[in-house]
């Protein structure tokens, strides 16, 4: 049998003359990735620093987004490191951020879970916790640190922290979707740098990174009001103390738009299927019924839409539904935050604390929401925006 130029055996033709397999063209992102990889190998970047995304996009004739995606691939592979306010560097020439004053290279990451009254897990953080953890792991890896991840029911988080801290000496800890003051004060008393992600508390020495729920909710009401809705209800998470900002933003949005506010239009509920059914039943009993319903997160919005459809209520013809972020629900109008970056931001704060623990002052960062238009909101009584 004949051999190909690559030294392997040529496959036997099954019909006709036989054709060699075609090579698929590379995407623009893959092409930019190859160019950057070759430039790194040839040490073409002065002082190991890459041009800005805008400069690279102009030189290569592609969009800035294409450059960003290609650079992120190389960051995940450990070839590049992005340093805030300084730029993107070749890892070998810039090196990881050095954490001084600690022997440990481990960071703790504790994710809280919440249970509904019927034992069903509430969809509070399932959709976003994965993205936040991914961002935290990548940021820690770029700094030469490892993340020890542990999730537990929120009432058992103290035990989970004690187990992690006992077996693995930590240099810092992140608590995700959690806000129990007693535990946090205890951790701070140990002198352990601490960051809350997806939550915030005004406690000394406690840092935080969370989404701007207040502004997201205000924009949600603003969007519905611009469509002509005058009666807007809010399906709120019953654990109000863990996210008071969304309810405040909803109320502020009503004030800004000059819309009426009714106590019965705020429907506190669990973020479960049972909770969604409760929202639907309570909405059906309202007189007059609100023409729009803003839901605490996208999962609740999806479950509410399914419940409405079972009751032959049309969305958006009979009621508009808007979600408050979280899981990706195709076609849902919602506002969404960058949960991946929130996770990275938590580690970035810890690194700054560890680099200068005596002079560091607590940081409290807000991640903005962006509105995403779908097919679940419309002018009252109409099916299109």
375 compared with 111, residue with greater pLDDT: 375
Q: What is the mean pLDDT of residues 316-334?
A: 95
Residue 374 in domain: no
| pLDDT beyond 50 at 207 | yes
Structural tokens at position 280: 């639907």
345 burial type by CB count under 10 A (0-12 exposed, 13-18 middle, 19+ buried): buried
Residue 235 in domain: yes
Q: What is the mean pLDDT of residues 153-168?
A: 85
One domain for residues 197 and 345:
yes
One domain for residues 326 and 345:
no
Percent residues over pLDDT 90 in the chain: 46
What average pLDDT does the chain have?
84
Residue 95 in domain: no
One domain for residues 302 and 191:
no
| pLDDT beyond 50 at 37 | yes
Return the H-helix or E-strand segment holding 371: strand 370-372
The band of 154, judged by pLDDT with boundaries at 50, 70 and 90, is: confident
Residue 276: its pLDDT value, please? 95
Within 10 A of 372 (CB to CB), how many other CB atoms are there?
A: 16
310 compared with 204, residue with greater pLDDT: 310
The band of 203, judged by pLDDT with boundaries at 50, 70 and 90, is: confident
Q: What is the mean pLDDT of residues 152-167?
A: 85
Q: What is the mean pLDDT of residues 188-216?
A: 91
| pLDDT beyond 50 at 13 | no
| pLDDT beyond 60 at 208 | yes
| pLDDT beyond 80 at 177 | yes
Measured on CA atoms in the order 68, 73, 76, 77, is the torsion positive or negative? negative
| pLDDT beyond 90 at 222 | yes
Residue 21 in domain: no
One domain for residues 205 and 343:
yes
Q: What is the mean pLDDT of residues 70-98?
A: 68
One domain for residues 138 and 277:
no
One domain for residues 110 and 188:
yes
| pLDDT beyond 90 at 285 | yes
One domain for residues 200 and 349:
yes
One domain for residues 298 and 195:
no
Residue 281: its pLDDT value, please? 97
One domain for residues 275 and 265:
yes
In sequence order, what are the residues at sequence separation of 6 or more whose Cβ sits closer than 8 angstroms to the Cβ of residue 254? 221, 232, 260, 261
One domain for residues 222 and 242:
yes
pLDDT tens digits, one per residue of 330-345? 999 999 999 999 999 9
Percent residues over pLDDT 70 in the chain: 83
DSSP state of 242: G
Taking CA atoms, 232 is separated from 255, 263, 291, 325, 367, in Å, by: 12, 11, 6, 18, 25
The band of 1, judged by pLDDT with boundaries at 50, 70 and 90, is: very low
Residue 377: its pLDDT value, please? 98
In sequence order, what are the residues at sequence separation of 6 or more whose Cβ sits closer than 8 angstroms to the Cβ of residue 344? 135, 136, 138, 139
Which of 54-68, 84-98, 151-165 comes out lowest in average pLDDT?
Answer: 84-98
The band of 252, judged by pLDDT with boundaries at 50, 70 and 90, is: very high
Residue 26: its pLDDT value, please? 62
One domain for residues 206 and 218:
no
Residue 119 in domain: yes
| pLDDT beyond 50 at 23 | no
| pLDDT beyond 70 at 319 | yes
CATH code, domain carrying 83: 1.10.10.10
Residue 126: its pLDDT value, please? 66
| pLDDT beyond 70 at 25 | no
Residue 385 in domain: no
Residue 116: its pLDDT value, please? 66
| pLDDT beyond 90 at 278 | yes
Tell me the pTM.
0.70
CATH code, domain carrying 343: 3.40.50.2300
Count of domains in the chain? 3
Residue 19 in domain: no
**2-28 burial, b for 16+ CB within 10 Å, e for fewer?**
eeeeeeeeeeeeeeeeeeeeeeeeeeb
Last residue of a domain, one of 63, 90, 117: 90
Parent domain of 360? 106-211+339-368
Cα end-to-end distance, the chain, whole Å? 65
One domain for residues 187 and 202:
yes
Residue 132 in domain: yes
């Amino acid at each position: 049998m004949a051999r190909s130029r690559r030294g392997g055996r040529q496959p036997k033709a099954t019909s006709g003359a036989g054709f060699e397999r075609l090579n698929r063209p590379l995407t623009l992102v893959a092409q930019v990735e190859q160019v950057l990889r070759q430039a790194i190998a040839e040490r073409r970047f002065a002082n190991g620093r890459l041009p800005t995304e805008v400069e690279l996009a102009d030189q290569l004739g592609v969009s800035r987004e294409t450059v960003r995606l290609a650079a992120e691939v190389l960051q995940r592979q450990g070839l590049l490191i992005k340093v805030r306010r300084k730029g993107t560097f070749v890892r070998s020439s810039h090196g990881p951020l050095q954490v001084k004053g600690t022997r440990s290279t481990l960071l703790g990451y504790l994710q809280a879970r919440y249970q509904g009254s019927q034992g069903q897990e509430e969809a509070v953080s399932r959709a976003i916790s994965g993205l936040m953890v991914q961002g935290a792991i990548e940021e820690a890896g770029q700094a030469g640190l490892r993340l020890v991840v542990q999730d537990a029911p929120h009432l058992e988080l103290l035990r989970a922290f004690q187990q992690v801290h006992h077996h693995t000496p930590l240099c810092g800890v992140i608590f995700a979707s959690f806000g129990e003051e007693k535990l946090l004060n205890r951790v701070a008393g140990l002198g352990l740098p601490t960051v809350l992600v997806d939550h915030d508390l005004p406690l000394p020495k406690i840092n935080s990174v969370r989404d701007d729920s207040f502004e997201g909710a205000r924009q949600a009401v603003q969007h519905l009001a611009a469509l002509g809705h005058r009666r807007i209800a809010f399906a709120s998470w019953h654990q109000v103390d863990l996210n008071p900002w969304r309810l405040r933003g909803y109320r502020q949005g009503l004030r800004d738009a000059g819309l009426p506010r009714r106590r019965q239009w705020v429907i506190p509920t669990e973020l479960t299927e049972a909770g969604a059914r409760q929202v639907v039943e309570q909405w059906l009993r309202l007189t007059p019924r609100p023409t729009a319903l803003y839901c605490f997160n996208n999962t609740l919005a999806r479950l509410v839409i399914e419940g409405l459809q079972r009751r032959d209520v049309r969305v958006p013809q009979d009621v508009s539904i808007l979600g408050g972020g979280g899981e990706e629900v195709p076609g849902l109008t919602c506002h969404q935050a960058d949960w991946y970056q929130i996770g990275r931001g938590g580690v970035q704060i810890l690194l700054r604390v560890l680099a200068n623990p005596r002079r560091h002052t607590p940081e409290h960062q807000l991640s903005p929401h962006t509105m995403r238009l779908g097919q679940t909101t419309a002018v009252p009584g109409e099916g299109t925006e």
